[in-house]
Amino acid sequence: MAINIDDIYNGDLRAIARAISVVENSSSGATELIEKIYPNTGSAHRIGITGPPGAGKSTLVDKLTHLYTESGKSIGIVAIDPTSPFSGGALLGDRLRLQGFSLNKDVFFRSMASRGSSGGISRKTGEVVDILDSSGKDVVMIETVGVGQSELEVAGMADTTIVVLVPESGDGIQAMKAGLMEIADIFVLNKSDREGADLMIANISESLELRDDLNWTPKIVKTSAINNEGIVELKESIEEHAEWLSSEELIGSKRNIRLINRVKEIILEELNEQFWTDERRSLLEKFVSENGKKPDSPYKIIENLKKV
């Protein structure tokens, strides 16, 4: 393997970047790489950040990053970016982001495409975070776009999960519907200078009252990321949550759940790859598009595929 593990441990940006590419492209050696670095993980605080498109997550991540680096912390950022088929890659906007940090050894930014990626995005994200963790980053942020099921799952892989909303995000019920209430350790109401901010906060608080099963009451932090307002308060809330996690000895069980989910996802991928031989793939095409004839039901097709 061309990648020197010690270079990763020393925070060498090129070694980290190469290691991430190996994982992202499922290149040979990816499994061995993760096995090697795994014992060196566990020191970074993992922060998941999610919310609807346009809520200002990127700006928030940028401002938080500035604040962390000012206090001497090193940062890794993974942005999960649904790839557009037009551009064939992650959007330029994100790539240009954080340019101010490009020569800063303490910040590593990487955007990953989620659409059209071969294989589980949440497995890969977990592995990229492992690489950044093992490289000695104090904080690793995982940013996802969207408020759907898979985005929540990815953001939920963190120690601390932040849900970013804006006054226009709809009332508390709507947010609850999207499953946001369950995963948030911290709510950020961004663009909080806009109309409707107080109503939105009241709605979030009200929905949270239903969550009496928890020892941790999710914080609500008002920010205006673009004006750099509320970022210090957000960082303090993150630290408070991190302290609570360790004082309650919850961090271990959070990690165990993550590990279980990762094992399950990898196995699912492997089983799928084993089943879909070239022969079965082409048979499926044939079964579905036999000229003019209406295809069989999915279950009948599966019965026939299994005979092979």
Residues 4-63 that bind its own copies (CB under 8 A): 31, 34-35, 38-39, 42, 52-55
Nearest approach, Cβ of residue 99 and its own copies (Å) = 17
Using CB under 8 A, which residues numbered 215 to 254 contact its own copies? none
Rounded Cα gap, residues 102 and 218, in angstroms: 34
Q: For its own copies, which is the closer residue by CB, 67 or 119?
A: 119
- Token reading at 59: 């700006």
Helix 30-37 × helix 13-24 angle, to 10°: 130
Q: How far is the CB of 151 from its own copies (least distance, A)?
A: 4
Toward its own copies, which CB reaches closer, 122 or 235? 122
Minimal distance in Å, beta carbon 272 to its own copies?
A: 6
For residue 137, the minimal CB distance to its own copies (Å) is 19
Stretch that binds its own copies, among 64-72, 167-175, 223-231, 236-244 (CB under 8 A): 167-175
C-alpha to C-alpha distance for 231 and 234, rounded to whole angstroms:
5
Shortest distance, position 107 Cβ to its own copies, whole Å: 22
The nearest distance, CB 256 to its own copies, in angstroms, is 5
Name which of 138 and 296 has its Cβ closer to its own copies: 296
φ, ψ of residue 301 to 5 degrees: the values are -60, -40
User: Which residue's CB is nearer to its own copies, number 100 or number 116?
Assistant: 116
Of residues 105 and 177, the one with the C-beta less far from its own copies: 177
The nearest distance, CB 135 to its own copies, in angstroms, is 16
Q: Which of residues 175-194 bind its own copies (CB under 8 A)?
A: 175-179, 181-182
- Nearest residue (CB) to its own copies, 224 versus 235: 224
Q: Which of residues 60-119 bind its own copies (CB under 8 A)?
A: 81-82, 84-86, 91, 93, 114-115
129 neighbors 153 (Cβ within 8 angstroms): no
305 is a contact residue toward its own copies (CB under 8 A): yes
Give the footprint of its own copies on residues 256-295 (CB under 8 A). 256, 259-260, 262-264, 266-268, 270-272, 275-276, 284-285, 288-289, 294-295
Question: Which residue, 80 or 140, is less far from its own copies as judged by CB?
Answer: 80
Interface with its own copies (CB under 8 A), residue total: 72
Least Å from the CB of residue 308 to its own copies: 12
Q: Does 296 bind its own copies (CB under 8 A)?
A: yes
Q: What's the closest the beta carbon of residue 2 comes to its own copies, in angstroms?
A: 20
Give the nearer residue to its own copies in terms of CB position, either 236 or 288: 288
CA distances from 29 to 26, 36, 259 (A): 8, 10, 20
Supply the DSSP string of the chain, one letter for each residue: --S-HHHHHTT-HHHHHHHHHHHHTT-TTHHHHHHHHGGG-S-SEEEEEEB-TTS-HHHHHHHHHHHHHHTT--EEEEEEEPPBTTTTBS-HHHHHTTGGGTT-TTEEEEEEE-TT-SS-HHHHHHHHHHHHHHTT-SEEEEEE-BSSHHHHHHHTTSSEEEEEE-GGG--HHHHHHTTHHHH-SEEEE-STTSTTHHHHHHHHHHHHHT-TT-SS--EEEE-BGGGTBSHHHHHHHHHHHHHHHHHTT-HHHHHHHHHHHHHHHHHHHHHHHHH--HHHHHHHHHHHT-TTSPPPPHHHHHHHHHT-
